[in-house]
Amino acid sequence: MILTPVNEALNQILNHASLQPARPSLELPLQQALGHILASPINTRIDVPPWDNSAMDGYALRSADLAAGATLPIAQRITAGLSPAPLSPGTCARIFTGAPIPAGADAVEMQENVEIDARGNAHFLQPVSSGQNVRPQGQDLHQGQTLFTGGRRLLPQDLGVIASCGIDRVSVAQPLRIGVVSTGDELLEPGSALAPGKIYNSNRFTLFGLLTQLGQEVIDGGILADDPDLIRQQLQQLGNTCDLIISSGGVSVGEADYLGQILRENGQLTLWKLAIKPGKPFTLGQIDSTPVLGLPGNPAAVLVTFLLLVKPWLLRRLGASDYLPTALPMPAGFVWNKAGKRDEYARALLHQGRLQLSGHQSSGILSSASQASGLVVLPAGVEVKPGDLLDYLPFTGLLS
Ligand code: AMP
Ligand code: MG
């Protein structure tokens, strides 16, 4: 059996995503744009901050005036939000953090270094240099500057940066409508009574969570019985209204694994045996003209193949410039002698700076993924001893 390296499949998957037809973008109020992918660049039409302002509560002055004498009358009081009159030579202004610097002033002395004498004048205890405690106009952003290029997935602080420029609407990639189906005669939906030989459909919920977290619209395609005619009908119907179908199960080479056959006859099929554990069987195909990503049935394999292969397809399809997971080198806190033929993406817990395996690693076991803080890559053919640096993929990155 020839196993396909994960990266080879990933390249084909990314290529497939990039060849999908362009979709119209969506204009959203900034408040709803978190996590969305910018469809076009954003430029600022103003400087931020828009005017010189004070970094301190204190006194604004012309720094040169201090050479003549260290006491100046207080000519005005400037709080944040005011538009101050110019500062007359030989005077100073009471000023507060964020308030505009009056024309003519070039420095602010903090109030701790100023004493107010009996006549109400400000006595400066130290020399003041030009520019001191002044936040200059445009220090953060310059008019015309590109804040973000298209493809940026918006973080909370990005929303703040965009808002600081006075912009309240952004153009983002339209979320995809994604049909999710689970194949298998053994599946029951949770909430119904368990019956002999049956198990509950967990993949549907894992996939729902993964897709919702990515801001995509999930269309529930239900359970597909192991019946080729039914599977074909349901897939074709779902394909009519969806941009993508994600399935789990039925892509091995068992007698009841019909998905491959249906895609081959009614669309397109690339079926891989991936050099990855968990998650060997993986399908990239099409039902009529709708893309289908066929995941294995085992619950841990669903999680891992989604994160390594489906998420990059989605992000690439949506035009994101960052679509690959970030691995961090972390020291192993365990011994691993079972070097296999496939790269293993083990569920792992980062504890006190060392990685531990988080329980049972079988592809049918999902609870160890809930105990884990991420995945650790155990490369094919490599044994691991404590202290060895391994690629760690934290869930904080994988699941965002
Ligand atoms: P399959 O790929 O269809 O051969 O399924 C592989 C294993 O995953 C079998 O033990 C199935 O019972 C199990 N499985 C398939 N689909 C699901 C699902 N939606 N939820 C939980 N387990 C599943
Ligand atoms: Mg099955």
Ligand 1 pocket, mutate which of 298, 362, 367 (most atoms under 8 A from CB):
298
Paired tokens of 152: 């940026």
Q: Are both 34 and 149 inside the same structural domain?
A: yes
DSSP-derived secondary structure letter, 58: E
Q: Are both 277 and 251 inside the same structural domain?
A: yes
**What is residue 257's predicted lDDT score, i.e. its pLDDT?**
83
The domain total for the chain is 4
Residue 197 Cα to ligand 1 midpoint, Å, equals: 13
Beta bridge partners of 244: 178
110: left (phi over 0), alpha (psi -120 to 50) or beta: beta
Residues with CB under 5 A from ligand 2 (ion): 184, 249-250, 297
Paired tokens of 17: 């995503």
How many other CB atoms are there within 10 angstroms of residue 347's CB atom? 26
Ligand 1 and 312: CB distance under 6 A: no
Q: Are both 193 and 305 inside the same structural domain?
A: yes
Residue 261 Cα to ligand 2 midpoint, Å, equals: 14
Q: Which amino acid is at 398?
A: L
Residue 373 Cα to ligand 2 midpoint, Å, equals: 29
Q: Are both 88 and 222 inside the same structural domain?
A: no
Q: Are both 157 and 188 inside the same structural domain?
A: no
Q: Is residue 323 part of a domain?
A: no
* CATH value at residue 97: 2.170.190.11
246: left (phi over 0), alpha (psi -120 to 50) or beta: beta
Residue 366 Cα to ligand 1 midpoint, Å, equals: 12
pLDDT tens for the chain, residues 1 to 400: 789 999 999 999 999 999 999 999 999 999 999 999 999 999 999 999 999 999 999 999 999 999 766 899 999 999 999 999 999 999 999 999 999 999 999 999 999 999 999 999 999 999 999 999 999 999 999 999 999 999 999 999 999 999 999 999 999 999 999 999 999 999 999 999 999 999 999 999 999 999 999 999 999 999 999 999 999 999 999 999 999 999 999 887 777 788 999 999 999 999 899 999 999 999 999 999 999 999 999 999 999 999 999 999 999 999 999 999 999 999 999 999 988 899 999 999 999 999 999 999 999 999 999 999 999 999 999 999 999 999 999 999 999 9
Paired tokens of 41: 């660049």
Q: Are both 222 and 302 inside the same structural domain?
A: yes
Provide the 3-class DSSP secondary structure of residue 344.
Answer: strand
Of the listed ligands, the closest to the CA of 198 is 1
Q: Is residue 217 part of a domain?
A: yes
Distance of alpha carbon 151 from alpha carbon 319, whole angstroms: 5
**What is residue 68's predicted lDDT score, i.e. its pLDDT?**
67
Q: Is the peptide bond before 278 cis (omega within 30 degrees of 0)?
A: yes
Nearest to 326 by CA among 313, 342, 307: 307
Ligand 1 and 365: CB distance under 6 A: no
Ligand 1 pocket, mutate which of 208, 248, 251, 277 (most atoms under 8 A from CB):
248
Of the listed ligands, the closest to the CA of 253 is 1
Distance of alpha carbon 291 from alpha carbon 317, whole angstroms: 11
Specify the ligand 1 atom closest to the Cα of 186. Answer: 12
Domain holding 151, by residue range, is 28-48+140-173
Could you tell me the pTM of the whole model? 0.94
**What is residue 255's predicted lDDT score, i.e. its pLDDT?**
77
Give per-residue burial for 123-136: e unless 16+ CB within 10 Å, then b: ebeeebeeebbbbe
Non-local (6+) Cβ contacts of 254 within 8 A are: none
Ligand 1 and 102: CB distance under 6 A: no
Paired tokens of 77: 């009081």
Of the listed ligands, the closest to the CA of 294 is 1
Residue 254 Cα to ligand 2 midpoint, Å, equals: 8
Ligand 1 and 362: CB distance under 6 A: no
Packed helices 228-241 and 259-266: angle between N→C axes, nearest 10 degrees: 60
Of the listed ligands, the closest to the CA of 297 is 1
Q: Which residue has the tokens 């891992």?
A: 304
Q: Are both 286 and 186 inside the same structural domain?
A: yes
Q: Is residue 339 part of a domain?
A: yes
* CATH value at residue 43: 3.90.105.10
Of the listed ligands, the closest to the CA of 256 is 2
Specify the ligand 1 atom closest to the Cα of 296. Answer: 2
Q: Are both 220 and 238 inside the same structural domain?
A: yes
Paired tokens of 308: 């390594």
**What is residue 113's predicted lDDT score, i.e. its pLDDT?**
96
Last residue of a domain, one of 317, 338, 353: 317
Ligand 1 and 299: CB distance under 6 A: yes
Q: Which amino acid is at 138?
A: G
Nearest to 124 by CA among 104, 106, 109, 134: 109
Residue 281 Cα to ligand 2 midpoint, Å, equals: 12
Residue 119 Cα to ligand 2 midpoint, Å, equals: 89
